Amino acid sequence: MIRSFPHFGIHVADLERATRFYVDGLGFEAQETGRTDAPGPLLEMPGAMIRTQFLRHPEGQRMELWTVEDRAPAGGPVDPRPANVPGRPHLCFVVDDMESVAARIVEFGGYRLDGTRSDLGYGDLMFCADPDGTRIELVQMKGGWTGGAEG
């Protein structure tokens, strides 16, 4: 049985750019950083130098941004990543003002995916993407839903 869910991680091409995007653009707080070659074998990349930056959202959720210092990202950039790539993550944020958050995403190097905008009945939804193509789901509530399992 899982005892806790202390954080989730996202691989990024440029740790400084991604940190600026999430901290300055979306309001996360930078926490501890790390640099080590120890995780290399765990990531199936023996000898790799891994750099990490932990972030915390004011609501308490933690995210680990990580990059491999001495190796180029596999596959190259694809923005936005196709929806049918297995394992493609997305982050979901409930927002008060979808337009202002989407504008900040663009201002800090991300992308709006206006064609995804939908009225779900309980709220409006639109996907954006961070500078590395990780999808960001924005939900602006109409009332009633608080972000539970149905989202």
pTM (two decimals): 0.83
Long-range contacts made by residues 81-87, C-beta under 8 angstroms, separation at least 24?
A: 81/129, 81/133, 81/134, 81/135
Domain boundaries, the chain: 8-68, 90-141
pLDDT in tens, 14-53: 999 999 999 999 999 999 888 776 555 666 777 788 889 9
8-68 and 90-141 share one CATH topology? yes
pLDDT in tens, 109-134: 999 999 999 998 889 999 999 998 89
CATH number belonging to domain 8-68: 3.10.180.10
Is-contact 51 66, C-beta < 8 A?
yes
Name the CATH topology of 90-141.
2,3-Dihydroxybiphenyl 1,2-Dioxygenase; domain 1 (3.10.180)
